[in-house]
Copies of this chain bind each other. A is one copy, B any other.
Amino acid sequence: MLAEMNKSQLEIVEAAADCFANYGADAVSIDDIARHLNATKGRIYHHFRSKSELLCAVRMRSVSLMYDQIAPIVARASDPLDAMKQMAFTHVQLILGHHSYHRVVSEDFRVFFNRSTTPDERRQIEEIIEKRTAYEELFRGVIQKGMDSGVFAKRPISLTVHSLITLLNSPSIWYSPRPGQTQDDRDAIAHDLAAMALGALGVKV
């Protein structure tokens, strides 16, 4: 469902991500997104059945963008330390590159669960959570291996995974793209944050 998107839909999702990222999903009306698209809300409702569905699409895209880049790294990498170095760096790079998407996601799921949801919406949310959990599993697996082999400090695994991902997500909060910024600047940020992440895992530098 959430995965297949044609060009029209993607255009809408991009606009929505932009708006949601800048003003917060709650503060943005369908009309706002339509205006951003230079269209009327009818166009949006032609492609998405509800605002909720549109938000789900944004989130799913965010998680998928991450998953699709990180999963191959895990598959390829030989040892946990090496894997984690690449994962952390790439994660931050993706955050910086798709700032709009990931900023939306850094808001959590409270809003989703405490609203009257249709069965359809619930299904979509579950899909997203599933994907997100799968993404976390990538980290969990690598970290667990690293702890077992002694290269990472031994700490409660869930705490470690969640805190680490929060740390890597942090630019979605404090980073905002500026005119002069180059790819090198973004790489530097990714590099520093990856170093902090490894330090947080107890890797002796």
Contact = CB atoms under 8 A, between A and B. Distances in A.
Interface stretch (A9-17, A22-30, A47-55, A58-66): A22-30
Interface residues of A, number: 39
Contact of A200 (B110, B114, B156, B199): B199
Contacts of A169: 166
A17 to B, nearest CB: 14
Interface in A125-173: 153, 155-156, 159-160, 162-164, 166-167, 169-171, 173
A79 interface: no
Contacts of A153: 195, 199, 205
Interface in A111-133: 111, 114-115
A107 interface: yes
A33 interface: no
A197 interface: yes
Q: How many copies does the complex hold?
A: 4
Contacts of A73: none
Given A24-B26, A166-B167, A205-B153, A197 B200 contact: yes
Contact of A167 (B22, B27, B115, B170): B170
A25 to B, nearest CB: 8
A173 B166 contact: yes
A178 interface: no
A76 to B, nearest CB: 26
Nearest to A199: B199
The 7 closest A-B pairs by CB, nearest first: A26-B26, A166-B170, A196-B200, A199-B199, A200-B200, A162-B174, A167-B167
26 contacts: A22-B110, A23-B114, A24-B114, A26-B27, A27-B111, A153-B199, A160-B192, A160-B196, A162-B174, A163-B171, A163-B174, A163-B193, A163-B196, A164-B196, A166-B170, A166-B173, A166-B174, A167-B170, A167-B200, A197-B200, A199-B200, A199-B202, A200-B200, A202-B205, A204-B204, A204-B205
